[in-house]
C-alpha cells in the first residue's frame, strides 16, 4: 500500500505549514523546515512497516508538486 505525505505551500506570512497523510491532516507547524522534518520521520516509520511504501510531495511557491528526496536518503542509510 502506498501512502503519500503532502506538504502544501503556505502563502500566509503567519500561517501554519501542514502535513497531510493522503487526505488526513497529521500535523501543523510554525515553519516549513519543521513540517519537512515531521514528514520525513513519518516516511521512515511508514516504510519500516511490511507492505507499506511512502512518498513525500512538497508544493513549491508556483503550485508545482515535487517528490522529496527522503526515499534516496533512506536507501543510502539503510
Neighbours of 42 (CB within 10 A): 19
The total number of structural domains in the chain stands at: 1
Give 62 or 72, the one with higher predicted confidence.
62
Residue 78 belongs to a domain: no
DSSP 68: -
Which cell numbers hold the place of 58?
512538497
**Predicted confidence (pLDDT) at residue 74 exceeds the cutoff of 60:** no
Kindly report the pTM of this predicted structure: 0.85
Q: Give me the pLDDT at residue 14, please.
A: 86
**Under a CB-based contact definition with an 8 Å cutoff, are residues 17 and 31 in contact?**
yes
Label residue 78 by pLDDT band (50, 70, 90).
very low
* pLDDT, tens only, 3-43: 999 999 999 988 899 999 999 999 999 999 999 999 999 99
Range of the domain at 46: 2-71
Amino acid at each position: 500500500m502506498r501512502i503519500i505525505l503532502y506538504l502544501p505551500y503556505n502563502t500566509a506570512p503567519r500561517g501554519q505549514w501542514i502535513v497531510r497523510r493522503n487526505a488526513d491532516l497529521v500535523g501543523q507547524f510554525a515553519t516549513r523546515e519543521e513540517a519537512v522534518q515531521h514528514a520525513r520521520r513519518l516516511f521512515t516509520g511508514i516504510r519500516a512497516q511490511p507492505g507499506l511504501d511512502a512518498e513525500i510531495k512538497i508544493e513549491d511557491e508556483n503550485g508545482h508538486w515535487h517528490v522529496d528526496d527522503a526515499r534516496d536518503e533512506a536507501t543510502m542509510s539503510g
